[in-house]
Copies of this chain bind each other. A is one copy, B any other.
Amino acid sequence: MKTREKIIYEALSLFSVHGYDAVTIREIASKVGIKESSIYNHFKNKQDILNKIIEETLKRYYSTLENVKVPESEDDNVSELYDNITDDTFLDICTKIFLFYLKDDYISKLRRLLTIEQYGNEEIGETFRYVFIDRVLETQRQVLQKFIDSGRFIQGDAYTMALHFYSPVFLLLYKYDNCPENEEQAIMELKMHVSQYNAIYRRNSIEREERNL
C-alpha cells in the first residue's frame, strides 16, 4: 500500500472511532509511520483527508455493489432469479450481505464515520441518510414492487414492505457494531427476521398457482 492509501486507511480507521476533531494529524502520521508534515505532500489539509476518505470509500463501495448486482437488462429477471432459489439459499445470501455491511473493513468504518459526523456536518448527514437509509430503501422498494406485481409477494405498499425488511438489518448493524464476539447471535437474529419476513410477505408457489388460474 502506497503512502497516500495508508493515510486514507489509517485516517479512516481513527476518524471512524474518535471522530474527525478528536484525531490529530500527528496521530495519523504516526500510524502511517511518517512525520506529520509529510501528510501535506499528499493532502491539502486535514479537511481534505476527510473529504477524500468519504469520496474514495464511497466509490469503492459503489463498485463493490456493481460487482454483486444482478444484470438489470431484462425487466424482471430479478424476480425470475428469486423463483429459483430456496428459502435457505435466500437466508444465506442475506447473511452474507449483512456480514459484508457489518464487517467489511472499509464499508463498516465508513458507516461509523458518517454516523459519528452526521450531525456536525450537514453534507455528511445527507450522505449518511442517502447511502445507508434512503438509497437502500428505494432499491428494495423497486424490487419488492416487481415481486408484488408478479404475485410472488402479497399485495401491499412496497415502501412499507422495504421498511419492514431493511429496518431490522439497520438496527442489528448498530446492535452488533462493536461486538465481533457476538457475531453468531447477530446472524441468528437476522435469520429469524428474514424467515419471519418471508413467512409474512412471500407467497408460496401453491398460492401463486391458485392466483394465476
Interface positions of A (Cβ within 8 A of B): 16-22, 112, 115-116, 118-120, 122, 125, 129, 133-134, 156-157, 159-161, 163-164, 166-168, 170-171, 174-175, 177-178, 189, 192-193, 196-197, 200
Contacts and interface: CB of A to CB of B under 8 A. Distances in A.
Q: Most B CB atoms within 10 A — which of A19, A157, A170, A177?
A: A19
24 contacts: A16-B119, A17-B120, A18-B119, A19-B19, A19-B21, A22-B22, A112-B119, A129-B174, A133-B174, A133-B175, A157-B192, A157-B196, A159-B192, A160-B189, A160-B196, A163-B168, A163-B189, A163-B192, A164-B164, A164-B193, A164-B196, A167-B167, A171-B171, A200-B200
B160 A192 contact: yes
Contacts of A160: 189, 192-193, 196
Contact of A21 (B16, B21, B166, B178): B21
Contacts of A174: 129, 133
How many copies of this chain sit in the oligomeric assembly?
2
Q: A interface, by DSSP: helix, strand, loop or mixed?
A: helix
Contact of A167 (B159, B170, B192, B200): B170
A11 to B, nearest CB: 15
Contact of A175 (B18, B122, B129): B129
Contacts of A19: 19, 21-22, 116, 120
Contact of A171 (B22, B125, B133, B197): B133
Contacts of A200: 200
Contacts of A168: 163-164, 167
A127 to B, nearest CB: 12
Contacts of A178: 118-119, 122, 125
Nearest to A125: B178
Nearest to A122: B178
Given A18-B21, A21-B22, A112-B119, A166 B171 contact: yes
Given A119-B112, A174-B133, A193 B163 contact: yes
